[in-house]
Structure 1
Amino acid sequence: MLKSVAALVLDGLAVFEFGVVCEVFGIDRTEDGVPAFDFRVCGPEAGVPLSSPVGVQVVPSHGLEGLAGADLVTVPAVETLEGYPPEVLAALREAHDNGAVLLSVCSGAFVLGAAGLLDGRRCTSHWRHVRELQDRFPLAQVDPDVLFVDEGSLITSAGTAAGIDACLHLVRRELGSSVTNAIARRMVVPPQREGGQRQFFERPVPDCTSDGLGEILGWMLEHLDQPHTVAALAARAHTSARTFARRFAAETGTTPLQWLNTQRVLQAQQLLEDTDLDMDAVAQRCGFGTATLLRHHFTRAVGVSPSGYRKTFSTIAR
């Protein structure tokens, strides 16, 4: 359960990315049904102002001791330096070793890399920084094409607004969709632009440059319960199956079948959380047809069975 959050701020911090973390975790939204987080702003020294490129100073209320015991340690964007204070890196390693989830926004990934926490792990950062990130930390597996990467105890996000996606993804992973939706509604942002709990999908549902394909995607979302073939979708798009498949992959980064399965899993998550439909009914609503097929795809994508997911995240009083 996510209860305590520490935001690590350093000299050269980016105030928007820091604000994203504060907006998701630092504001009391208990009146909206969001559990209160023990939110701490931590720096190398408590009470010592830290600078930003836009002339705003942030004064942390806690020193590095504030990272101790936090369920989540966030590292907002910061200047990409050759090195960071050794005591900061040691505190991050200790927090990680003690079971904290670490989440970076944009160039905050460089701080995690300097602490040795990206070695052998998939990660990302702002598209302008990914090459430098890979050069600086050659053992990291840097993905330049995604909004965020969820590696369980380590979440890294791309630039600026992608930090919102990563933070809301973590809230959904730990606390379910109702809490996520409440926070997103207050922030006036989509509660989920990209893959669900424990599952990292390569790309979010895109804003298509092709109006025709965008219409097809919308139609597919409205008819997930129906069977679809590439041939039938291509006919709806007034093109050949081969051309449709090529255009679909270029726009979405995946195949029509994989895209459909992703959306069906996401809809299954919502139904499992917000309804008491039995598994056969959930499967039919999502287009998987049978509970057996639902269980296969859901467990493969999410990492737990549909019944296990419902037990953890259901919002229905029992």
Structure 2
Amino acid sequence: MNKPNLSIILPAKNEADGLKSFLPRLRKQYPDAEIIVVNDGSTDNTAEVCLSNGVFVVTHPYSMGNGAAIKSGARHASGEILVFMDADGQHQPEDIPRLLTHIHNGYDMAVGARDGDSQASKARGFGNALYNRLASYMTGHTVKDLTSGFRAARAEKFREFLHLLPNGFSYPTTCTMAFFRSGYSVVYEPITAPKRIGKSHLNITKDGFRFLLIIFKIGTLHSPLKLFLPISLSFFALGMAYYLNTLISVGRFTNMSALLLSTSVLIFLIGLVSEQITSLIYNQGNTATPLPLGGKIAEDACDERAPHTAQPVA
């Protein structure tokens, strides 16, 4: 049996209601695609709904997080192109061809960028806009939707970063910035996402703070000097201003001025060393043996392989 060229992966936690209507639409749009639903510890009949619609189900024995579900799905997928979608009905199967067109035209990853009307709330829209601007600064590229979970990517390139992806809700953040850092091409396709079916599992306060932390964590991995240099310059400017003030008022160079200027130098040197370490890490990654196109990843190649049970459909 020939392997499918396309694998569609849907992480799902208690999404039975949405999947009842979504899976038939998805199967109708792509009858020959491999559809994998990762049942992330659902307590409803998510697994039964998936099996009744003839899709492959990977079941986590307990909830491990959205990112963990994405990693499990990517490891089981056999297609050369991976499409990731939410199982809550926000992403439309009819939009998949627009992402795939970019992949076929040579891009390594295509991301569905939600418009302003697709944000769940004004607060979340403002937060996403802030994340986009910070990520754009870190990467040097325009990031139109950092947190969109609707994306298509070449399988062998996506799997290079499985070890970097967190188990929580911020896998799109890490994935996007890792692609940019590795010099892989990313394109954004405008989409409109309708209101989700069911209750959101995202906590805007708790997970919003986590998103912000991950931006800075990946920023230090992506381009540390862009993070450390402004901080260093701020301390340097503050030290010089304090020195000029004390020089005029008391006519001497104070210990506080020395502390501020020394701190600016130390921060700059930390950023410089981090930049070199980052370059070495990615150079090693580029010289590593590439993963095969399609097929399942070998057990010993997945250091963070999550326990699960697979339930194929006959």
Quickly name the TM-score band, shorter chain normalised. under 0.3
TM-score normalized with structure 1 length? 0.28
Question: If you compute each CA radius of gyration, which structure gives the higher value, 1 or 2?
Answer: 2
The structure carrying a bigger helix percent of its residues is 2
Q: Which has the higher contact order (CA 8 A, sep 6+)?
A: 2
TM-score normalized with structure 2 length? 0.28
